Amino acid sequence: MTSTPKTYHVKSFGCQMNVYDGERMAELMAAQGMTAAADADSADLIVLNTCHIREKATEKVYSDIGRVRKNARLADRAAPMIAVAGCVAQAEGEEIAHRAKVDIVVGPQAYHNLPDLVAQASAQGRATDTDMPAIAKFGALPARRKTGPTAFLTVQEGCDKFCTYCVVPYTRGAEVSRPFAAIVDEAKSLVDAGAREITLLGQNVNAWDDDAGTGLHGLIAALDKIPGLARIRYTTSHPNDMKEGLIRAHAEVEKLMPFLHLPVQAGNDRILKAMNRSHSRDSYLRILDRVRAARPDIALSGDFIVGFPGETEAEFRDTLSLVDAVGYAQCFSFKYSPRPGTPAAEMDGAVPEEVMDDRLQRLQAALNRDQAAFNAASVGKTCPVLIERKGKLPGQMLGKSPWLQSVHLTTDAAIGDLIDVEIVRADPNSLAGVAA
Ligand code: SAH
Ligand code: SF4
Ligand code: F3S
């Protein structure tokens, strides 16, 4: 690739923060005068915004690079410029440039330099930037232009927790909070652009703080005052950063939605210790008691890992009994995946694949049961739904309840409207409603 690309396409694979980063990279390309391509196969520049969290996620980038090149060959067009961004770029760095012969490798803390890297790659054929200057990128990015009723806003990045299975502290760096004023400004520009709901993002979002000790609840209180903003959410939280002020905010701030994603990972204290989670089963359950006391209708969510090295059947059953004790509204659950460079990858006691499969199945059966029960309990209730997009059927619209359930209904309400909906039926993954 020698000419400068004129069209771009960004493809994000990872968590919500990766999606946010992807949006900001797209805005950055647009600010350079490039235009969005209709799809990946017609773009001059393809940004693959990757995730390193589990082995499967990492493998995706290599198969995607192959596919992009093959499609270009089949269509008889020049090979596009390929930029690998995100957490795989950070973890593997130059190695990807050599292994997969991509043009640009750019880490999650360096993507504000993408225009320079594109220029460099155009001139010299290759460019890499995996520096981690704390917070520098946010100041260097163009203003938000994303419209649409729901928006992500990164307020905190990185992780100092070092759970023994996890790559995030290595790929995203140390915990850093963005300044209060910059966040409030970005929230206002998102609302001006049409956002009615903002989800505050961080690897440990509830660790957000500033020199004044404002805390995430103080930030939420400031966003609560933005006219036009109807809903505030935040994710992902760590149990140890679940401070009293934030719990109280769930009782006091009307715009703060009754939903908490608080990963626990496992229900057995020996496993939690080996994971370096720094909370116990009991301390986690006590936090949930306090949250429920503040906001009795709160929907709880979590993440689980089955088959951590050395996990016995009895220890796994502690996870099942914790699930029974909590009654989650929805959860994510994963088989343990050893990640290079993490302490757990060196631990003995690998759990055989078929045992992991069996445990995951049993865990998911329990989680699905609880999700179905949570959804069934909504039938007959009337609640506000934020309309997010059109459904597949004519006149059908899709939106979210306060508890983050997907709701579909036939209505002439427009995208961005917040309307009262009576829930009439619960399906496994969504609710059917009628405008009240
Ligand atoms: N606090 C983070 C967590 C990111 S990882 C956040 O911002 O969401 C999301 C989930 O992936 C974790 O909660 C954990 O359940 C799972 N996970 C992390 N490392 C894993 C590994 N090595 N194998 C399997 N699952 C993993
Ligand atoms: Fe990973 Fe643990 Fe940090 Fe979450 S808290 S990002 S699981 S190290
Ligand atoms: Fe994946 Fe990085 Fe997010 S590893 S989960 S994209 S922080």
DSSP string computed for 38-79:
SSGGG-SEEEEEE--SSHHHHHHHHHHHHHHHHHHHHTT-PP
Give me the phi and psi of 332, to 5 degrees please. Answer: -115, 140
Q: Is 155 in the pocket of ligand 2 (CB under 6 A)?
A: no
Phi, then psi, of 268 in degrees rounded to 5: -115, 135
Q: What value, to the nearest 5°, has the Cα angle with vertex 250 and ends 249 and 255?
A: 90
Overall pTM > 0.75: yes
Taking residue 182's Cβ as centre, other Cβ atoms within 10 Å add up to 13
| CA 394/CA 184 separation, integer angstroms | 38
Q: Which atom of ligand 2 is nearest to the CA of 159?
A: 3
Predicted local confidence at residue 145, as pLDDT: 79
| CA 174 – CA 251 distance, rounded (Å) | 31
Give me 127's structure tokens: 């460019």
Q: Which ligand is nearest to the CA of 351?
A: 1
d(CA 153, CA 187): 7
Atom number of ligand 3 nearest to Cα 14: 6
Measure 61 CA to ligand 1 centroid, in angstroms.
Answer: 18
CA distances in angstroms from 386 to 23, 131, 194, 196, 323, listed in the order given: 21, 39, 13, 8, 29
Main-chain dihedrals φ then ψ at residue 260, nearest 5 degrees: -135, 120
**Single-letter code of the amino acid located at 405:** Q
Angstrom distance (rounded) from CA 246 to CA 234: 11
**Atom 5 of ligand 2 has which residue's CA nearest to it?**
161
54, two tokens: 């589990």
Residues forming a β-bridge with 423: 433
**In whole angstroms, what is the distance from residue 249 CA to residue 292 CA?**
12
Closest ligand 3 atom number to CA of residue 167: 4
Residue nearest to atom 1 of ligand 3 (CA): 51
Distance 400 CA to ligand 2 centre (A): 27
CA of 336 to the centre of ligand 2 (A): 14
| Side-chain-facing half-sphere of 309: CA atoms under 13 Å | 18
Mutate to test the pocket of ligand 1, among 334, 353, 357, 367 (most ligand atoms within 8 A of CB): 334
- Residue that has been written with the tokens 């059966």 in this structure: 365
Tell me how far CA of residue 143 lies from CA of 111, 389, 395, in angstroms: 15, 24, 34
**What's the mean pLDDT when you consider all of the chain?**
95
Does residue 337's CB lie within 6 angstroms of at least one atom of ligand 1?
yes
Alpha-carbon gap, residue 313 to 359, rounded angstroms: 9
Q: Is any ligand 2 atom within 6 A of the Cβ of residue 168? A: yes
Beta carbon of 57 within 6 Å of any ligand 1 atom: no
Q: Which CATH architecture has domain 7-129?
A: 3-Layer(aba) Sandwich (3.40)
- Domain 382-435 annotated CATH 2.40.50.140: yes
The Cα 203–Cα 159 span in angstroms is 6
User: Which element (helix H / strand E) includes 434?
Assistant: strand 431-435
CATH value of 136-376 in 1.10.10.60, 3.80.30.20, 3.30.1330.40, 3.30.565.10: 3.80.30.20
What residues have CB less than 8 Å from 129, skipping those under 6 apart?
Answer: 105, 106, 107, 110, 113, 117
Domain ranges of the chain: 7-129, 136-376, 382-435
The amino acid present at 233, given as its one-letter code, is R
Residue 334 Cβ inside 6 Å of ligand 1? The answer reads yes
Around 226, how many Cα atoms within 13 Å sit in the side-chain half-sphere? Answer: 27
Structure confidence at residue 248 (pLDDT): 98
Distance CA 156, CA 175 (A): 7
CA dihedral 41, 46, 52, 54 (to 10 degrees): -10
- Bridge partners of 53? none
383 is in an annotated binding site: no
Question: Do residues 300 and 326 touch, judged by C-beta distance below 8 A?
Answer: yes
pLDDT at res. 135? 67
For residues 206, 211, 217, 218, the Cα torsion angle rounded to the nearest 10 degrees is: -160
**Is the distance from the beta carbon of residue 319 to the nearest atom of ligand 1 less than 6 Å?**
no
User: Does the beta carbon of 167 sit less than 6 angstroms from any atom of ligand 2?
Assistant: no
Q: In sequence order, which ranges of 176-306 are alpha helices (DSSP H)? A: 180-192, 215-224, 244-252, 269-274, 281-294
Residue 108 CA to ligand 1 center (angstroms) comes to 17
Kindly identify the ligand whose nearest atom is closest to the C-alpha of 171. Answer: 3
Q: Residues 60, 235, 296, 279: is their CA dihedral positive or negative?
A: positive
Q: Could you tell me where the beta strands, DSSP code E, fall in 127-208? A: 127-129, 150-154, 156-157, 176-177, 197-201
- Pair 133, 44: CB distance under 8 Å: no
pLDDT at 428: 76
For tokens 């917070």, name the residue.
135
Return the residue matching tokens 């020698």. Answer: 2
Q: Which residues of the chain have pLDDT under 70?
A: 1-2, 135, 146
pLDDT of residue 133: 80
Q: Using the mean position of ligand 2's atoms as its centre, give its distance from the Cα of residue 122 in Å.
A: 37
Q: Pick from 16, 51, 166, 241 the residue to mutate for probing ligand 1's pocket: most ligand atoms within 8 Å of its CB.
A: 166
In the chain, the amino acid numbered 281 is: R
Q: Which atom of ligand 1 is nearest to the CA of 238?
A: 1
Per-residue buried b or exposed e for 22-33, using 16+ beta carbons within 10 Å of the residue's own CB = bbbbbbbbeebe
Is 87 labelled as part of a ligand binding site? yes
Protein residues with CB under 6 Å of any ligand 3 atom: 14-15, 17-18, 51-53, 86-87, 167-168, 171-172
Structure tokens at 399: 């939106």
Hey, how many other C-beta atoms are within 10 angstroms of the C-beta on 65? 19
